[in-house]
């Protein structure tokens, strides 16, 4: 993923139309980046409450999910079923997405971020939990319904506690 840069500002001598066009391009990029943040925040909050319809609506139909321990899962329905099965043993979860960065390229975008996942298998003992962290890499596509995840790669960099269900 390359780092994005803001469009070069027009010279002070540029005409009004050029300046307005420049502002419109910058505004569109900022709106797109905020829409991507919103997509991920909405989706990951849905994971926490096991709202599978909302979560899976964040994915393109032909999406790919690459997760270190599982390999690659293809298709929205298959991704949904794999995650439902993996997270079934945990009645309480928090999915944190940190340090997100996006690069917009028309109707495609790429992104990076970090995961911090906390899962509790017994809410009577919340001090006993399984934690996992690692880097995300995303590819997004703009659809008629807005941005959707086309591909997500998630690597596990560290874990803490016991994954009592051996899901991850």
| pTM, entire model | 0.86
- Percentage of the chain exceeding pLDDT 70: 93
Apex CA 104: angle with CA 20 and CA 80, to 5°? 140
**Confidence (pLDDT) at 6:** 57
**Confidence (pLDDT) at 20:** 81
Are 10 and 25 in contact by the 8 Å Cβ rule? The answer is no
Are 29 and 104 in contact by the 8 Å Cβ rule? The answer is yes
**Confidence (pLDDT) at 69:** 83
Q: Is the pLDDT of residue 17 over 90?
A: no
**Confidence (pLDDT) at 140:** 98
**Confidence (pLDDT) at 67:** 93
Q: Which of 22-31, 55-64, 73-82, 104-113 has the lowest mean pLDDT?
A: 22-31
Q: How confident is the model at residue 5 (pLDDT cuts 50, 70, 90)?
A: low
Q: Which residues contact 118 (CB under 8 A, 6 or more apart)?
A: 93, 94, 96, 129, 130, 131
């Amino acid at each position: 993923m390359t780092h994005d840069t803001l469009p070069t500002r027009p010279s002070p001598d540029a005409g009004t139309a050029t300046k307005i066009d420049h502002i419109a391009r910058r505004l569109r990029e900022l709106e797109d980046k905020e829409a991507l943040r919103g997509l991920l925040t909405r989706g990951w909050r849905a994971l926490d409450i096991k709202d599978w319809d909302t979560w899976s609506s964040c994915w393109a139909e032909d999406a790919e999910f690459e997760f270190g321990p599982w390999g690659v899962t293809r298709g929205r329905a298959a991704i949904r079923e794999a995650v439902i099965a993996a997270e079934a043993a945990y009645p309480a979860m928090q999915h944190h997405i940190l340090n997100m960065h996006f690069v917009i390229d028309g109707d495609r975008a790429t992104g990076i971020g970090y995961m911090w996942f906390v899962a509790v298998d017994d809410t009577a003992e919340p001090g006993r939990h399984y934690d996992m962290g690692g880097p995300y890499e995303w590819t997004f596509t703009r659809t008629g319904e807005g941005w959707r995840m086309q591909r997500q790669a998630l690597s596990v960099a560290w874990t803490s506690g016991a994954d009592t269900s051996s899901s991850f």
